[in-house]
Amino acid sequence: MTVKELETLIGAKNMTPDAPGDTPVTCGYACDLLSWVMAHGAAGMAWITVQTHMNVIAVASLMEMAAVIVPEGVEMEEPTLEKARDEDITVLQTDKTAYEICAILSAHGLPGKKREG
Amino acid sequence: MAAQLEKVFNVEAGAYTTAGEASTTIKRTLKQLGASREVLRRVSVACYEVELNLVIHSMGGTLTLLVDPEKVTLISKDVGPGIPDIDKAMTEGFSTANEEARTLGFGAGMGLPNMKRNATDFDIQSEVGVGTTITMTFALE
């Protein structure tokens, strides 16, 4: 699944259309605790979070994630979006809940993050 | 990676919006030097956690990156307040983060354990009223 396909599947609005759409998405994840995500995140991940501050992009970029998904119509602040554009991280916004997004992605074969050890 | 390199970054207490900038620069530098994906991932996680700790808990400090042919070394040095009980601070789930940090999604009590898990060697020295120094090395093999 690519970022572009992900966007279409969940009917999301792409807030960073210039970021590459052909980036492969390897797994999905939902969590709002950034320290937790730092411990369990993975490259290529599509990460669902209601957090919208700059540190979200720092985490996504450091973990080399494919996309950040903001659920339930939550608006991401403009400075955060600017940082996302600088770092080439796709930010998708949708009215669906995190649960609904997970259900759709799972039904289309996107796995959860592989557990270590 | 045959390069020798030393870089020092200042990290300001309470500067949440710029938190992660030093880590991003460090990751970029190591990538340019040809570090493997695994090394990049481990250094990035530990580096971001230690940078966040400086922002959330310290009165300001520095983050030093040292690179030699065998390893990457990260040294975080702050000017206080110091940690009264290091064993407790190292316990997963224990956190003294303030409300502001928790609202942003930090303060899960995973920072120090995360650093230890990702570094090849991890050392923490702290004295209340003086400061804390964390030294982490990451083997390049």
- Each residue's pLDDT tens digit, A81-113: 999 999 999 999 999 999 999 999 999 999 998
Three-state secondary structure call for residue A93: strand
Residues B85/B64, Cβ–Cβ less than 8 Å: no
Burial B89-108 (b: 16+ CB within 10 A, else e): bbeeeebebeeebeebbbbb
Q: Is A58 on the interface with B (CB under 8 A)?
A: yes
Q: How far apart are CA A113 and CA B31, in angstroms?
A: 24
Strand order in the sheet with B131-139: B5-11, B61-67, B71-78, B131-139, B121-127
* Interface ipTM > 0.90: no
Give chain B's largest Cα–Cα span. 44
Residue B69 C-alpha, separation from nearest chain A C-alpha, in angstroms: 23
Mean of the pLDDT values across residues A70-83? 96
Closest to A13 measured CA to CA, from A54, A56, A83, A67: A67
Q: Could you report the per-residue pLDDT of B75-120, keeping only the tens digit for each? A: 999 999 999 999 999 999 999 999 999 999 999 899 999 999 999 9
Q: Is A63 on the interface with B (CB under 8 A)?
A: yes
Is the omega angle on the peptide bond into residue A111 within 30 degrees of 0, that is, cis?
no
Which chain A residue's Cα is nearest to B28? A62
DSSP3 helix / strand / coil % (chain B, rounded to 5)? 35, 25, 40
Mutation site for B-interface testing, chosen from A26, A31, A32, A55 by largest number of B Cβ within 10 Å? A55
Sorted by where each starts, the structural domains of chain A and their CATH numbers stand as: 3-107 (3.40.1390.20)
Measured torsion, CA atoms of residues A93, A95, A99, A104, in degrees rounded to the nearest 10: -80
pTM score: 0.90
Mutation site for B-interface testing, chosen from A34, A45, A81, A89 by largest number of B Cβ within 10 Å? A34
Residue A117 has a pLDDT of 42
Beta-carbon-side half-sphere exposure of residue A62 (alpha carbons within 13 Å): 33
